[in-house]
């Protein structure tokens, strides 16, 4: 129990008749990076706002670091850093002045403020522009300043709404490695994103959101197993007709499905059974030309899941 940093039970938010978040059960463990995924309007931002006590839930319970954000918002906000999807700053103040204000709002003792601000700015590598007006900052600099802003209070949990939105690939990568280093230090991170490969790269677990519901939750291989039926896809290229090896491959353990496409055999399996597959082909009298395995990408899972969902609603 104690290693749960965040837990919601039956969390619901309605705007009139419209249900933005529908009986959400979410749990995030200490030290993990959790990714919230879902199409636009799925309810990610609404969920995040409720976690911080910035919007009142219609129903359900929330527990963040042992506090209820609706009743103990100050305790929650003291420990949780939040980076909104659109970070804004006072453009006519410098980076330092902007962070000073945040530090003061957090009640950080006067004699520590200067050091804490400088450390946070250093951390996101903005020390050179610390006394420049934020109005002159680029998108990437603002985003990094947003992270510094969160780091000032030494949060135990950081919640980021689409942190890499609008960043170029290099900056996004840099940002992700910053997030990764925070995780190494033991900070728990919850982030929402649309950029699947990024989420896959840094998230320990992901939750798939659709129309206010959490439809899937788990590690990427777990999701792959659920959605694609197999976490591994093994491709075999053989000499001669591929079709005749099909039977042999289907007989193997842990195999979910075998398909033949463009002369190649694709084996969907729960484990990496490359060796077994090769043996089976050889035993059946075939010759192997190529053998490769691809682990499932979140992209495939996402596309497949929402395709199926669409299919179901159409039928």
Stretch in the footprint of another protein (CB under 8 A) among 21-29, 74-82, 186-194, 247-255? 74-82
Partner whose binding site includes residue 18, from Mg ion, another protein, ligand ATP, none (CB under 5 to 8 Å by kind):
ligand ATP
Strand partners, 269: 232, 255
Stretch in the footprint of another protein (CB under 8 A) among 103-111, 174-182, 215-223, 237-245? 103-111
CB of 24 to ligand ATP, least distance (A): 11
CB of 264 to Mg ion, least distance (A): 40
Quick one: which of 270, 263, 276, 275 has its CA closest to 295?
270
CB of 182 to ligand ATP, least distance (A): 22
Stretch in the footprint of another protein (CB under 8 A) among 34-42, 78-86, 175-183, 226-234? 78-86
Q: Which residue is associated with the tokens 């002045």?
A: 97
- Within residues 26-55, the interface with ligand ATP by CB under 6 A covers 38, 40-46
CA distances from 313 to 34, 215, 301 (A): 29, 15, 18
Is 106 an interacting residue with respect to another protein (CB under 8 A)?
Answer: yes
Q: Which residue is associated with the tokens 């420990």?
A: 79
Quick one: which of 191, 185, 290, 284 has its CA closest to 237?
290
Partner whose binding site includes residue 74, from another protein, Mg ion, ligand ATP, none (CB under 5 to 8 Å by kind):
another protein
CB of 161 to Mg ion, least distance (A): 6
Is 142 an interacting residue with respect to ligand ATP (CB under 6 A)?
Answer: no
Q: Under the rule (CB under 5 A), what is the footprint of Mg ion?
A: 45
* Residue 203 CB contacts under 8 Å (≥ 6 apart), including other chains: 33, 34, 35, 191, 220
Residue nearest to Mg ion (CB): 45
Cα 242 from chain centroid?
A: 39
- Within residues 135-164, the interface with another protein by CB under 8 A covers 146, 149, 153
- Give me the helices (H) in the chain, please: 44-51, 73-79, 95-105, 110-123, 139-151, 169-184, 196-202, 220-228, 246-250, 274-283, 298-314
> Closest CB to ligand ATP among 42 and 228?
42
Tokens of 16: 């009139």
> Closest CB to another protein among 77 and 144?
77
| Rounded Cα distance, 83 and 191, in Å | 9
Quick one: which of 242, 251, 227, 191 has its CA closest to 300?
227
Is 18 an interacting residue with respect to ligand ATP (CB under 6 A)?
Answer: yes
Q: Which residue is associated with the tokens 């705007």?
A: 15
* Residue 59 CB contacts under 8 Å (≥ 6 apart), including other chains: 10, 11, 12, 23
> Closest CB to another protein among 106 and 217?
106
> Closest CB to another protein among 77 and 116?
77
CB of 125 to Mg ion, least distance (A): 27
| Rounded Cα distance, 112 and 220, in Å | 41
Partner whose binding site includes residue 295, from another protein, Mg ion, ligand ATP, none (CB under 5 to 8 Å by kind):
none
DSSP H or E run through 89: none
Is 15 an interacting residue with respect to ligand ATP (CB under 6 A)?
Answer: yes
Under rule CB under 8 A, how many of the chain's residues touch another protein?
33
Residues that bind another protein (CB under 8 A): 45, 49, 52, 54-55, 70-75, 77-78, 80-82, 84-91, 101-102, 104-107, 146, 149, 153
Residues that bind ligand ATP (CB under 6 A): 15, 18, 20, 38, 40-46
């Amino acid at each position: 129990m104690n290693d749960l940093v965040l837990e919601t039970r039956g969390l619901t938010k309605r705007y009139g008749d419209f249900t933005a978040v529908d009986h959400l059960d979410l749990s995030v463990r200490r030290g993990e990076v959790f990714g919230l995924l879902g199409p636009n309007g799925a309810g990610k931002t609404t969920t995040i706002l409720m976690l911080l006590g910035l919007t009142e839930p219609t129903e359900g319970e929330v527990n963040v670091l042992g506090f209820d954000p609706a009743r103990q918002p100050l305790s929650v906000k003291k420990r949780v850093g939040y980076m909104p999807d659109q970070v804004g700053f006072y453009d006519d103040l410098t980076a330092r002045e902007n962070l000073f204000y945040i530090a003061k709002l957090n009640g950080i003792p006067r004699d520590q403020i200067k050091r804490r601000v400088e450390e946070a700015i250093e951390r996101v590598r903005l020390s050179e522009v610390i006394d420049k007006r934020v109005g002159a900052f680029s998108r990437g600099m603002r985003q990094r300043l947003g992270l510094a802003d969160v780091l000032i209070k030494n949060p135990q949990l950081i919640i980021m709404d689409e942190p890499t939105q609008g960043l170029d690939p290099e900056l996004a990568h840099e940002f992700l490695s910053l997030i990764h280093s925070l995780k190494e230090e033991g900070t728990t991170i919850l982030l929402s994103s649309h950029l699947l490969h990024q989420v896959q790269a840094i998230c320990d677990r992901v939750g798939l959101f659709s129309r206010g519901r959490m439809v899937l939750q788990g590690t990427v291989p777990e999701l792959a197993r659920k959605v694609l039926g197999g976490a591994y896809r093994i491709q075999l290229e053989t000499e001669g007709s591929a079709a005749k090896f099909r039977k042999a491959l289907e007989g193997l353990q842990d195999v979910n499905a075998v398909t033949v496409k463009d002369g190649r055999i694709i084996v969907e399996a729960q484990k990496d059974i490359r060796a077994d597959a090769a043996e089976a082909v050889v035993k059946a009298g075939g010759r192997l030309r190529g053998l490769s395995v691809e682990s499932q990408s979140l992209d495939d899972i996402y596309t497949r899941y929402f395709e199926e969902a669409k299919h179901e609603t159409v039928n």
